[in-house]
Amino acid sequence: MSAVEPRPDTQPELTWVSHAWRYALCVVFSAAVWQTAAAAEWRDHRLLFTVEVVLGVAAFVLVHFRRRAPKRVALVIAAMSAFSGLAAGPATLAAVSVATRRRWREVILVGSANFVAAQTWTTIAPIEDGDFLVTTLVNLVVNTGMMGWGLYIGSRRELLWNLRNRAERAELEQELRLTQARSTERARIAGEMHDVVAHRITQVSMQAGALAFRDDLDGDRLREGLGQIQQQANDALHELRGVLGVLREDDPSPPTARPQPTYDDITALVDEARSLGLDIDWADHVDGDVPVPPVTGRTVYRIVQEGITNVRKHAPGAEVEIRSSGDQCGGITVVISNPLGNRPSAAPGAGLGLVGLRERTELRGGRLHQRTEGSRFVLEAWLPWTA
């Protein structure tokens, strides 16, 4: 959006119908004004009659260009109307058009010019039974009324413009919010898919690599290893469906997804990693009197899962220490440490796991740090209890 607020449009484009009824009103008003003197002019003042007609026709032509130079056109037609009652209609239309702009200097200038012009014409025109005081009051009321009517039209147009502009701005902001929500949702889906798939695929890669280097396995052992690989691949598919099932809560299809992991599922995650040969020292010191909230527990689960995955990738066979502690008042702290690996596995890594974890942790109001202490790599995270 522009930093400078655009000026309200108080003079919208006119259709041919809008032009037609405006000219019709000008003709009616001019006829009403000029008829008070037309007969006397035709009878006794033919030159004045001719001047009235010429200036009046010129005013009707000139008023068509009022929007190109509103103030100038209005002042010129006002000058014409001082010597032509037939120009009163165009003078009124031009003055009202200026008033719709709601610029007070222009309104006062054009309104005063039209009042002076009306006074001049009523003085020089051969109007029968014309009382000066009455004529002055009529001119004052008419000119004040037409400028007030123009101000009202301009105010109404500005109000409609503001309402329309606010509606368009609200629609644009809503669209931007939806776009941002979609981007956030895509990022969340990408993070969940990385956490789920990377862990399982790393296990599959490691087991397949182990089988590739073993040439002493008999058929039964080989089939057992391949069965474990197949089970890990199936688990990856099931967990991926679980992620998509949660992220698509409005999906009308039957629910096939498993529940999302919680803090209590960390023990099963550790046991599974141990069964696949990883040496894990797991100590849970979190206050067990109150269940860990699901959102916080799921984040802690993903942190532990990513830590185990990183150990498999960068320090296969190393001992892993996992410590968790905390309560409702102090939040939850998770520390994962392992020796620095010197023979990383063949499993590829994009280096985005810890970046995603840090974003996820900070999104929940927590902190995540990684550091090296001597010969050990340490991953430490803290989360508020109600993340």
State which of 119-128, 189-198, 251-260 shows the largest mean pLDDT. Answer: 119-128
Question: What is the model's pTM?
Answer: 0.46
The backbone region for 331, taken as left when phi is positive above 0, alpha when psi lies in -120 to 50, beta otherwise, is: left
CB 267 within 8 A of CB 233: no
What average pLDDT does this structure show over 34-52?
Answer: 86
The residue among 188 and 335 whose pLDDT is bigger is 335
Average pLDDT for the chain: 81
Q: What is the pLDDT of residues 129-154, one digit of tens each?
A: 667 888 889 889 988 898 999 888 88
Tokens 């109404």, residue? 156
The token pair that represents 170 in the structure block = 């609200």
Q: Please name the residues in contact with 365: beta carbons below 8 A apart, sequence gap of 6 or more.
A: 383, 384, 387
What are the pLDDT digits (tens) for 81-129?
999 989 999 999 999 999 998 888 999 999 999 999 999 988 888 876 6
What local confidence, expressed as pLDDT, does residue 8 receive? 60
In the predicted structure, residue 2 carries a pLDDT above the cut 50: no
Per residue, the 3-state secondary structure of 102-133, as one string, reads CCHHHHHHHHHHHHHHHHHHHHHCCCCCCCHH
Euclidean distance between the first and the last CA atom of the chain, given in angstroms as a whole number: 35
* Residue pLDDT, tens place only, 240-253: 666 665 555 444 44
Beta strands in the chain (DSSP E): 280-286, 320-327, 331-339, 367-373, 376-383
pLDDT at res. 241: 67
Residue 26 belongs to what H/E stretch? helix 16-34
